[in-house]
């Protein structure tokens, strides 16, 4: 039986200033790797899954460094395409007190930006795969990148793979003339499993989201409202069997509430879970990617247990808030322990 999960996207170099400095301050930069799809792939590999990551990297020292980072976490990189001018980057200014975080993308003319349709040999990549994971970010980078994603989705559907689409709307990336809603709506037609936060579901569907205003873990989730909402989603995305929404309320830079909702379209059932009241937030980047990876891992292992899959995914996402950098380096055991304890204990 095939077990390979294929993820497609751009790995990025993340640059930030230490000690909550603004990007205009200081003389030192901290470097990490990020990129939504890479974050998801690395988290899945860390959880012990068979993962192949497909991207395009330059023939340069920075390209080799990014490739080494992927290999370090056990990813299969056999079909990474080489070429192009540069590695994509982004600059991250951390939030503190009442000052919001700030992201500046520097992806134009990156190797992934200049990827041409047909460069990825999808027949070979997907030949022994069980699941394909992609996101709206890859569709936003360039027209060719979007078409490469659609080519992969069509072939994955033909081969009967389980397709996981992360809506991942980033308004500052869309610049090649197509409307985000139109592209994301099309991408979602292929999904068996779809994920997004409340705002991303609104962009993809055009239907206004339900506000999430939790100030603590006692907040009441209107199950009937979400059930009705996802019935509408299923009418728009009829292939999608599992629909997951992450709900986060950012009360302050270091204080968030976080939960999730899952809709099973086959049984017309809605699942909710606990609310995490997280304080302090160490690093909020990649929290959604951790949710996706946690869900994929759980779905592969406990497919029919919707409640447990949602609980596991949320626990993984909550833990990511405690880890510096973009990637969620936690084990299955740690995620399960977080499900059943209040945390903070010394593990001996």
For residue 177, the domain's CATH number is 3.40.1190.20
Separation of alpha carbons 69 and 64, rounded Å: 9
Mean pLDDT of 143-159: 97
Cβ pair 148, 112 in contact under 8 A: no
Of 27, 41, 54, 79, the residue nearest 329 (C-alpha):
41
Over residues 176-189, mean pLDDT: 97
Span 254-268, average pLDDT: 97
In a domain, 164, yes or no: yes
User: How far is it, in rounded angstroms, from Cα 66 to Cα 44?
Assistant: 18
* CA pair distance 199, 134, nearest whole angstrom: 18
The pLDDT value given to residue 243: 98
| The pLDDT of residue 342 | 60
State how far the Cα of 11 lies from the Cα of 40, in Å rounded to an integer: 11
Number of domains in the chain: 1
Whether the per-residue pLDDT at 163 is higher than 90: the answer is yes
**CA angle, corner 74, sides to 54 and 146, nearest 5?**
15
Q: Please report which confidence band the pLDDT of residue 81 belongs to, taking 50, 70 and 90 as the band edges.
A: very high
Question: Residue 152 and residue 128: Cα distance in Å, rounded?
Answer: 14
Using a CB cutoff of 8 Å and minimum separation of 24, what contacts does 300-304 make? 300/5, 300/49, 300/131
Does residue 346 form part of some domain? no
pLDDT surpassing 70 at residue 52:
yes
φ, ψ at 327 (rounded to 5°): -105, 140
The pLDDT of residue 304 is: 87
Residue span of the structural domain in which 15 resides: 4-340
* CB atoms inside a 10 Å sphere around CB 326: 26
pLDDT at 26: 92
What does each C-alpha distance from 333 to 120, 231, 298 come to in angstroms? 36, 34, 12
What gap in Å lies between CA 136 and CA 274, rounded to an integer?
28
Q: Give a yes or no: residue 123 inside a domain.
A: yes
Whole-model pTM above 0.85? yes
Which structure tokens are listed for 311?
Answer: 């609980």
Is 245 a residue whose pLDDT tops 90?
yes
Q: Indicate whether 348 belongs to any domain.
A: no
Q: Output the six-digit token pair for 45.
A: 């590999």
CA-CA distance, 284 to 95, in Å (whole number)? Answer: 9
DSSP code of residue 215 = S
User: In which band, very low, low, confident or very high, does the pLDDT at 308 lie, cut at 50, 70 and 90?
Assistant: very high
Flag whether pLDDT at 286 surpasses 70: yes
Kindly state whether residue 253 falls inside one of the protein's structural domains.
Answer: yes
Position 234 in a domain: yes
How far does Cα 152 stand from its chain's mean position? 18
């Amino acid at each position: 039986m095939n077990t390979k999960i294929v993820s497609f996207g751009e790995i990025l170099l993340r640059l930030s200033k230490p000690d909550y400095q603004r990007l205009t301050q200081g003389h030192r930069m901290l470097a990490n790797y990020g990129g939504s799809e890479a974050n998801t792939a690395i988290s899945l590999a860390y959880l012990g899954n068979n993962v192949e990551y497909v991207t395009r990297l330059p023939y340069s020292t920075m390209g080799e460094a990014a490739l080494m980072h992927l290999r370090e976490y056990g990813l299969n990189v056999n079909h990474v395409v080489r070429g192009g001018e540069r590695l994509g980057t982004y600059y991250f200014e951390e939030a503190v007190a009442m000052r919001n975080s700030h992201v500046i993308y520097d992806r134009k003319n990156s190797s992934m930006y200049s990827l041409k349709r047909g460069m990825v040999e999808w027949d070979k990549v997907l030949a022994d795969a069980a699941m394909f994971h992609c996101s709206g970010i890859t569709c936003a980078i360039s027209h060719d990148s979007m078409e490469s994603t659609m080519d992969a989705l069509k072939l994955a559907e033909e081969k009967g793979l389980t397709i996981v689409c992360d809506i991942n709307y980033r308004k500052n990336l869309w610049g090649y003339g197509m409307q985000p809603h139109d592209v994301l709506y099309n991408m979602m037609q292929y999904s068996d499993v779809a994920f997004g936060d409340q705002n991303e579901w609104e962009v993809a569907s055009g239907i206004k989201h339900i506000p999430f205003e939790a100030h603590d873990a006692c907040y009441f989730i209107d199950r009937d409202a979400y059930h009705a909402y996802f019935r509408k989603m299923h009418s728009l995305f009829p292939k999608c069997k599992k629909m997951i929404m992450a709900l986060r309320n950012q009360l302050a830079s270091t204080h968030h509430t976080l939960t999730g909702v899952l809709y099973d379209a086959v049984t017309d059932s809605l699942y909710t879970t606990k609310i995490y009241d997280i304080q302090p937030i160490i690093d909020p980047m990649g929290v959604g990617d951790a949710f996706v990876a946690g869900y994929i891992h759980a779905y592969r292992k406990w497919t029919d247990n919707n409640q447990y899959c949602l609980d596991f995914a949320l626990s993984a996402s909550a833990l990511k808030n405690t880890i510096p950098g973009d990637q969620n380096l936690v084990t299955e055991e740690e995620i399960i322990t977080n499900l059943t304890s209040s945390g903070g204990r010394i593990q001996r």
